[in-house]
């Protein structure tokens, strides 16, 4: 049976034809790209991709299938998938089904046969933007109208939809008890906390500070998540109350929310940082970490209040990658130290968080 045609239309009028993959239908959202060469299952299930059409720059995707163990969420969180070539075959001792079957099972629509690197260059030149992908409606004018009607990512509070609705216990331990404010947390973050010896309880991102304090939590982790941090006002209010009362560790969106709660600002990057090889310079040691990243917004280095120290910078573009607030026992990083997928250069940060909690308790 011949493949069905599909069409991706960007809001600026650029069109990318191809063949339908996954579920037949339509998908829409902000079109972004990821430069990782492997780890597509972890990337596709990362809740930080909610509301986005994901383009892989690596041309060959799907060759090792998918399995039940590598998900960062129960299923895919991308709005849709864009690839140059989707492998018709797969082989790996852990694989259980093809990427095509998995996408269809979860009703995710996608497109293959796209010049994914040309699309990436277009987004680099013109910025990430909304797009509409369809294997049903192939009329360019119709898809362009639909793409232009989509809301801009600026101002979208996607984190509220990506996090859990009720608190739950992820890991029991006799070690420090950590409350994770869930804005779209990856399972790898929770697993790294458990491996570092923490008891881990996950809370909705909008949980009031009083409930966190009453739970007996000894530290608070602000998780990754999708969208613009600026609308997350309930989370900011919670963090403001917790600052100085419990040690805080922020990751990705959690890093941005911490900066906003401290009185800083954030802004949208032209095309974001998404990949598994982003170099970050530690300003104290001068050492470089190779990091996994997935974000479209960034902390503005201007206007950070007194007592907030920039600790790390992106070695490619100089953007803020880390903050520390020693007087209020808080620190954060823009990248993903759990690295699912990616290098493990920064996993020590989970142990550093435990040390911060112990110092706070001994103060």
Of 33, 34, 25, 23, which Cα lies nearest the Cα of 7? 25
User: Which one of the listed residues 30, 72, 160, 338 is annotated catalytic?
Assistant: 338
**Where are the chain's structural domains?**
5-148, 159-362
Who's near 182: CB < 8 A, 6+ residues apart? Answer: 163, 164, 202, 203, 204, 205, 223, 225
User: Which one of the listed residues 252, 255, 273, 278 is annotated catalytic?
Assistant: 252
pLDDT tens-place string over residues 18-60: 999 999 999 999 999 999 999 999 999 999 999 999 999 999 9
Residue 247 has pLDDT above 90, yes or no: yes
The pLDDT of 140-150, averaged and rounded, is 98
* pLDDT at residue 264 in the model: 98
User: Which one of the listed residues 122, 255, 278, 336 is annotated catalytic?
Assistant: 336
Q: What share of the chain is helix, strand, coil (3-state, %, to 5)?
A: 25, 30, 45
The pLDDT of 281-287, averaged and rounded, is 96
Distance CA(224)–CA(185), nearest Å, equals 5
The pLDDT of 149-165, averaged and rounded, is 93
* pLDDT at residue 327 in the model: 96
* pLDDT at residue 303 in the model: 86
Q: Regarding the domain delimited by 5-148, which CATH topology (the fold level of the hierarchy) does it fall under? A: Glucose Oxidase; domain 1 (3.50.30)
Other C-beta atoms within 10 Å of 234: how many?
A: 15
- The torsion of the CA quartet 101, 103, 104, 108, rounded to 10 degrees, works out to -170
The pLDDT of 255-272, averaged and rounded, is 97
Confidence of residue 140 (pLDDT cuts 50, 70, 90): very high
* pLDDT at residue 1 in the model: 64
Q: What is the mean pLDDT of the chain?
A: 96
Portion of the chain with pLDDT greater than 70, in percent: 99
Distance CA(93)–CA(322), nearest Å, equals 38
* pLDDT at residue 33 in the model: 98
Catalytic, 252? Answer yes
pLDDT tens-place string over residues 300-339: 999 899 999 999 999 999 999 999 999 999 999 999 999 9
The pLDDT of 139-160, averaged and rounded, is 95
Q: How many residues does the chain have?
A: 363
pLDDT tens-place string over residues 177-235: 999 999 999 999 999 999 999 999 999 999 999 999 999 999 999 999 999 999 999 99
* pLDDT at residue 352 in the model: 97
Is the distance from CB of 228 to CB of 52 less than 8 angstroms? Answer: no
Indicate if the alpha-carbon torsion angle 317, 341, 174, 213 is positive or negative.
positive
What is the pTM assigned to this prediction?
0.96
Distance CA(237)–CA(83), nearest Å, equals 40
Catalytic, 338? Answer yes
Of 347, 306, 354, which Cα lies nearest the Cα of 327? 306
* pLDDT at residue 2 in the model: 74
Q: Regarding the domain delimited by 159-362, which CATH topology (the fold level of the hierarchy) does it fall under? A: Rossmann fold (3.40.50)
**DSSP-assigned letter for residue 153:** S
């Amino acid at each position: 049976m011949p493949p069905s045609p599909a069409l991706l239309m960007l809001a600026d009028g650029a069109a990318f034809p191809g063949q339908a993959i996954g579920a037949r239908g339509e998908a829409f959202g902000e079109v972004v790209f990821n430069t990782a060469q492997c780890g597509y299952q972890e990337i596709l299930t990362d809740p930080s991709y909610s509301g986005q059409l994901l383009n892989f720059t690596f041309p060959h995707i799907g060759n090792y299938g998918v399995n039940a163990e590598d998900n960062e969420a129960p299923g895919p969180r991308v709005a849709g998938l864009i690839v140059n070539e989707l492998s018709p075959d797969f082989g790996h001792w852990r694989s259980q089904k093809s990427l095509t079957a998995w996408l269809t099972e979860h009703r995710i629509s996608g497109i293959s046969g796209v010049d994914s690197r040309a699309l990436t260059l277009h987004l680099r030149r013109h910025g990430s933007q909304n797009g509409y992908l369809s294997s049903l409606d192939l009329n360019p004018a119709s898809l362009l109208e639909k793409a232009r009607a989509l809301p801009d990512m600026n101002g979208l509070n996607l984190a509220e939809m990506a996090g859990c609705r009720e608190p739950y216990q992820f890991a029991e331990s006799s070690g420090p008890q950590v409350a994770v404010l869930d804005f779209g947390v990856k399972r790898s973050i929770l697993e790294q906390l458990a491996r570092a010896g923490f008891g881990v309880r996950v809370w909705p991102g909008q949980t009031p500070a009083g409930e966190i304090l009453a739970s007996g939590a000894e530290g608070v982790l602000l998780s990754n998540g999708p969208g613009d941090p600026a609308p997350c006002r309930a989370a900011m209010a919670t963090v403001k109350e917790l600052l100085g009362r419990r040690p805080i560790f922020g990751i990705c969106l959690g890093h941005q929310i911490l900066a906003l709660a401290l009185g800083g600002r954030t802004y949208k990057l032209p095309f974001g940082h998404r990949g598994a090889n982003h170099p970050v310079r530690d300003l104290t040691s001068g050492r470089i970490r190779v990091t996994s990243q997935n974000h479209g917004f960034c902390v503005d280095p201007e206007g950070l209040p007194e007592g907030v120290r920039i600790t790390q910078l992106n070695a490619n573009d100089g953007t803020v990658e880390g903050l520390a607030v020693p007087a209020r026992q808080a620190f954060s990083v823009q990248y993903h130290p759990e690295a699912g997928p990616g290098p493990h250069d920064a996993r020590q940060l989970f142990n550093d968080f435990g040390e911060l909690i112990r110092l706070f308790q001994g103060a």
